[in-house]
């Protein structure tokens, strides 16, 4: 269920139009309001000088503009930035910006913690606390756009890509994530192209199927293993939605997107676990019907983790094998190591972790 909140940062254009109609206003006023919220970063309705005093005061009675509070901002030697952002629920999440020559990628969180407990992910070890609201997800982008404008004065757009690869499983916070992506892709919001907003999932198959009816954002899956036996150990939700059902949902999604668009397959390489030549060969076989590109992520360690990162020659050998089999396969270089901003290292502050069991029982049915 979509959180019931009147934080206007989480209102899509159609939602804002209906709210305006309820308030006895013309729906097209949404254009002005959205620009105030996402282009001019208004913090108070009183700033919205081109809308009537009456509307400003109705807004103040029923709604708010709640930009989440930044608790900490860190910058890595390589330019990567990480923010710790407070959630209304009491916990905190992390968000990371990764600058590259021609693009800037913002990695946002969708939940405080995560219920899925993948064996190699530090967020999973934190347990699950709560969903972020749509406004809290959009708020992350708003904070980044605002704060990066000053750091990159010569770039007309600093954040070109958004990936839901921070904390949480986006498809288990479906309605809020969907609303947030719509605002991110709307020209009156942040105008990010649908190809450049990527929702990443550990494999919530019903969520993927439902997503296809509502959006044409890009999709990434966290596969990490080429067979069910291994994937059951690494990504426990695989016991509920095995590889075949995951890949068939992805094929359908890719078919709906049409054109030349592909699904991104993420594969974290764990030494001696899933990094052998036979795994690469099996992966190449299993993905043969999916229009995809493969992102290899050498494991990033965190305190208490039992896995190790494979030696660079193993990573290249794995990549070469996939390339020879005809796949686009990239190795994701580790960024922001010195501030623990790499994949799987985001922990935020998940104060109450007790929600995991109940939530997990609901999803995994066991």
Residue 302 CB, shortest distance to ligand SAH, in Å, is 6
Binder to ligand SAH among 12, 222, 238, 319 (CB under 6 A)?
222
Residue 53 CB, shortest distance to ligand SAH, in Å, is 44
Active site residues: 94, 343
Binding range to ligand SAH, per CB under 6 A, among 23-31, 176-184, 196-204, 243-251: 196-204
Of 34 and 162, which CB lies nearer to ligand SAH in the complex structure? 162
By CB under 6 A, is residue 253 in contact with ligand SAH?
A: no
Cα separation, 222 vs 364, whole angstroms: 17
Strand partners, 292: 263
Q: Under a CB-based contact definition with an 8 Å cutoff, are residues 353 and 315 in contact? A: no
258 burial class (0-12, 13-18, 19+ CB within 10 angstroms)?
A: exposed
Binder to ligand SAH among 5, 80, 198, 201 (CB under 6 A)?
201
By CB under 6 A, is residue 16 in contact with ligand SAH?
A: no
Binder to ligand SAH among 133, 161, 200, 319 (CB under 6 A)?
200
Q: Are strands 81-86 and 92-99 parallel, antiparallel or unpaired?
A: antiparallel
Residue 89 CB, shortest distance to ligand SAH, in Å, is 18
By CB under 6 A, is residue 237 in contact with ligand SAH?
A: no
Least Cα distance to 356 among 91, 86, 4 occurs for 91
Of 165 and 283, which CB lies nearer to ligand SAH in the complex structure? 165
Residue 278 CB, shortest distance to ligand SAH, in Å, is 21
Number of H helices, E strands in the chain: 12, 12
Q: Per CB under 6 A, which of residues 280..339 are in contact with ligand SAH?
A: 297, 299-300
Q: Under a CB-based contact definition with an 8 Å cutoff, are residues 153 and 270 in contact? A: no
Integer angstrom CA distances of residue 126 from 40, 90, 111: 36, 15, 12
Binding map of ligand SAH across residues 102-131, x = CB under 6 A, - = no contact: ----------------x-xx----------
Residue nearest to ligand SAH (CB): 344
Q: Per CB under 6 A, which of residues 130..149 are in contact with ligand SAH?
A: none
By CB under 6 A, is residue 344 in contact with ligand SAH?
A: yes
Binding range to ligand SAH, per CB under 6 A, among 199-207, 278-286, 316-324, 353-361: 199-207
Of 16 and 124, which CB lies nearer to ligand SAH in the complex structure? 124
Binder to ligand SAH among 58, 87, 268, 319 (CB under 6 A)?
268
**Residue 230: both structure tokens together:** 């291994």
Q: Per CB under 6 A, which of residues 155..194 are in contact with ligand SAH?
A: 165, 169
SS (H, E, C) 317-353: HHHHHHHHCCCEEEECCCCCHHHCCCCCCCCCECCCC
By CB under 6 A, is residue 230 in contact with ligand SAH?
A: no
SS (H, E, C) 5-29: CCEHHHCCHHHHHHHHHHCCCCCCH
Integer angstrom CA distances of residue 253 from 77, 179, 231, 292: 38, 19, 22, 12
> Number of residues in contact with ligand SAH, rule: CB under 6 A?
16
Q: Are strands 128-131 and 161-164 parallel, antiparallel or unpaired?
A: unpaired
Q: Under a CB-based contact definition with an 8 Å cutoff, are residues 269 and 309 in contact? A: yes
**Any alpha helices (H) in 2-94, and if so which ranges?**
13-22, 29-38, 53-62
Site residues, ligand SAH (CB under 6 A): 118, 120-121, 165, 169, 200-202, 222, 266, 268, 297, 299-300, 343-344
């Amino acid at each position: 269920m979509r959180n019931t909140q009147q934080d206007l940062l989480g209102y899509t254009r159609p939602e804002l139009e209906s709210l305006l109609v309820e308030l006895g206003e013309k729906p097209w006023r949404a254009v002005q309001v959205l620009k105030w919220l996402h282009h001019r970063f208004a913090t108070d309705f009183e700033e919205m000088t081109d809308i009537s005093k009456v509307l400003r005061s109705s807004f103040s009675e029923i709604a708010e503009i709640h930009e989440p509070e930044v608790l900490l901002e860190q910058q890595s030697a390589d330019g990567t930035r990480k923010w710790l952002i407070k959630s209304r629920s009491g916990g905190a999440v992390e968000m990371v910006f990764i600058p590259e020559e021609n693009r800037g990628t913002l990695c946002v969180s969708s939940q405080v913690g995560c219920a899925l407990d993948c064996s190699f992910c530090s967020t999973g070890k934190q347990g699950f606390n709560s969903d972020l609201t749509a406004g809290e997800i959009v708020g992350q982008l708003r904070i980044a756009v605002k704060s990066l404008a000053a750091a990159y004065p010569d770039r007309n757009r600093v954040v070109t890509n958004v990936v839901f690869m921070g904390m949480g499983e986006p498809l288990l916070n479906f309605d809020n994530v969907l609303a947030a992506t719509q605002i991110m892709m709307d020209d009156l919001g942040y105008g990010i192209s649908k190809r450049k907003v990527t929702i990443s999932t550990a494999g919530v198959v019903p969520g993927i199927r439902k997503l296809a009816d509502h959006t044409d954002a890009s999709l990434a899956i966290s596969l990490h293993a080429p067979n069910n036996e291994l994937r059951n150990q690494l990504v426990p939700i695989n016991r509920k939605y095995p590889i075949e059902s995951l890949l068939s949902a992805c094929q359908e999604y890719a078919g709906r997107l049409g054109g030349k668009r592909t699904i991104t397959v993420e594969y974290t390489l764990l030494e001696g676990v899933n990094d052998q030549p036979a795994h690469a060969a099996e992966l190449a076989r299993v993905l043969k019907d999916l229009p995809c590109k493969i992102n290899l992520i050498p494991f990033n360690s965190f305190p208490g983790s039992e896995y190790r990162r494979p030696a660079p020659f193993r990573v290249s050998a794995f990549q070469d094998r996939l390339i020879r089999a005809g796949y686009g396969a990239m190795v994701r270089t580790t960024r922001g190591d010195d501030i623990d901003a790499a994949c799987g290292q985001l922990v935020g502050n998940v104060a109450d972790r007790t929600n995991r069991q109940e939530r997990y029982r609901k999803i995994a049915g066991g």
